[in-house]
Structure 1
Amino acid sequence: MTHTKPKLAWLGAGLMGNPMAGRLLAAGYPVRVWNRTRAKAEALTSQGATVADTPADAVTGSDIVFTMLSDAEAVEAALSGVALPGKTLVQMSTIGPGENRRLAGRIEEAGGAYLEAPVLGSIPEAKSGKLIIMAGGSEATFAEVKPILACLGPEPRLIGSVGEASALKLALNQLIASLTVAFSTSLGFVEENGVDVNSFMEVLRQSALYAPTFDKKLSKMLEHDYRNPNFPTEHLIKDIDLFKREARSLDTQALEVLLQLYGRAQARHEREDYSCVYDAVTKRC
């Protein structure tokens, strides 16, 4: 028996959304794509996508709707006035646990199903289908969507109810922000004192302190070239702020320092990679 693939609507064809939608098209799914800047959506037509003029147009006739947008405000704007009864919304943007729960409540009250599915990884992983996908929602909704998510990441994982996956995602992004500042501080100290950077990295790699992200960002920091970002600084700032607002019972004073450093770096390196925080740590900006 031939099984017809579900029709998909994809809202958001930016740095991550474009390659992710491309993988679904390559897997044979019919995809209607909408993006606020139409040209970014049109870049997917060569792969078989249909470009929609509005989110409502993209959703019409679809079975499952995906959102991969910058923040909760963008998600709310895209879904405003869009009818979703009988459809499944897979919300993949990085937004707060509370924001996901509120949105899930509205979708389910209107007769739709909801799954949050934030991802860990950047453009290379999006292109290769190696994203780490964390889902929050019911087991039934996850089972329905899992074969599609498997086109984007090898092992989609159901973390728990709505809000738990987005909390995990923010916890990981906070770690990215903190690790990058910590590494920048050590690297800057090593350079300031004339220690050979290769020796520093060789010892670091042999220790329990090492994280692969250090090597991924090292050349950008040493060359002070943060163009062609996999993860723009402005997005990480948004996530640090989200974490700070959602973490009501924690002492988040350290995050104030992170926000100051990344903010200073962003002012100098607009829309560039978040590793530019090295220039803020070393007082180049």
Structure 2
Amino acid sequence: MNTTKIGWIGLGNMGIPMAEQLIKAGYPITVYNRSKVKESALKNMGAEIASNPAKLLEETDVVIVMVSDDHAISEIFSGEEGLLQSKTSNKIIINMSTVSPKISKEMAEKCRDIECFYLDAPVSGSVKQAETGQLVIMVGGEEQVFEKAKPILEKLGKLALIVGSHGAGNMAKLAINSLLALYAQGLAETVVFANQNGIKTEDLLQLINNAALGNIFTKIKGDAIIGDNYKAAFALKHIVKDLGLAKDEGISSPLAETAFTTFKNAEANYGEEDIIAVIKAIK
């Protein structure tokens, strides 16, 4: 039984399986989620429920946040009953959301003001990797704080690597997700081009996955295309957000600009579907 008390905020597609991994590892977990229905799944596994983020921080040693965007982070940290209103100190707050480096730097400073510690620790991987503890975690913050948090992060991922100071984890994630967008658009365009010239999708994917270009992404998303299954593991609307954040940080390369335009145009019709639903827009 691990004695570190962990608080968890955010029970979306990724948050639930990640929190479950920590419960299975023996950590005592307390959760807070805006949608109360989602708390029941964790409660049934033994988790406690907190009434608001401030109470959650007071009742635990480490709080992990996994939400969708900068706006949600601002609300969770700075809201009326937010983390920063907590009457406590010497706690670690780990923000695993994919958000801007700017907001991580801002929240790290505010955490310092209440004598708590902040890490940005976004993840690479989707629901399947969350369910099996095989995420890749990139961390920004202070080395000594990272070392304290590392045993927890290692229950969630196969690699937890500190890459710089506050905001660096978010910057690394934006770089990786920019490549993710290029992969997805490239795969979609390749399949469409092959189909237009008489090549079956199944045959093309078998060739790709047995060649040097084959990887986990092409296998998973290729299977999704073949099965006409666009249920969101990573919603297309989220890659639009991430590419927008990368643009805000200065990315302006030809491929990145093209990808942003493609996914932004696809968002209205396919935003709630998986990222690889971009193939339907390309067709």
Paired residue for 1:16?
A: 14
* TM-fit CA distance, 1:253: 5.1
Q: Percent identity?
A: 33
Secondary structure in structure 2 of the residue aligned to 1:44: helix
Paired residue for 1:241?
A: 244
Q: Name whichever of 85-94 and 256-265 sits farther off.
A: 256-265
Q: Name whichever of 17-26 and 209-218 sits farther off.
A: 209-218
Distance in 2 of aligned mates of 1:210 and 1:37: 39
The answer for unaligned runs of 5 or more in structure 2 is none
Q: Name whichever of 19-28 and 196-205 sits farther off.
A: 196-205
Cα-to-partner distance string for 1:109-141 (whole Å, 9 max, x where unaligned): 321111111111111111111111111111110
Distance in 2 of aligned mates of 1:164 and 1:264: 29
Cα contact 1:117–1:133 (8 A) shared by 2: yes
Q: How many residues align?
A: 277
Distance in 2 of aligned mates of 1:13 and 1:68: 7
Paired residue for 1:142?
A: 146
* TM-fit CA distance, 1:219: 2.9
Paired residue for 1:30?
A: 28
User: Which residue identity does 1:44 align to in structure 2?
Assistant: L
1:156 aligns with 2:160: yes
Cα distance change of structure 1 residues 270 and 201 upon mapping to structure 2, 3 Å threshold: closer
TM-score by length of 2: 0.91
Cα contact 1:42–1:51 (8 A) shared by 2: no
Paired residue for 1:105?
A: 109
User: Which residue identity does 1:179 align to in structure 2?
Assistant: Y
Distance in 2 of aligned mates of 1:220 and 1:122: 14
The answer for unaligned runs of 5 or more in structure 1 is none
* TM-fit CA distance, 1:194: 0.5
> CA RMSD of the aligned region, Å?
1.9
1:188 aligns with 2:192: yes
Paired residue for 1:274?
A: 275
How do 1:1-285 and structure 2 match up within 5 A?
5-80=3-78, 81-82=82-83, 83=86, 85-227=89-231, 229-247=232-250, 250-252=251-253, 254-282=255-283
TM-score by length of 1: 0.90
Cα distance change of structure 1 residues 222 and 267 upon mapping to structure 2, 3 Å threshold: farther
Cα distance change of structure 1 residues 203 and 53 upon mapping to structure 2, 3 Å threshold: same
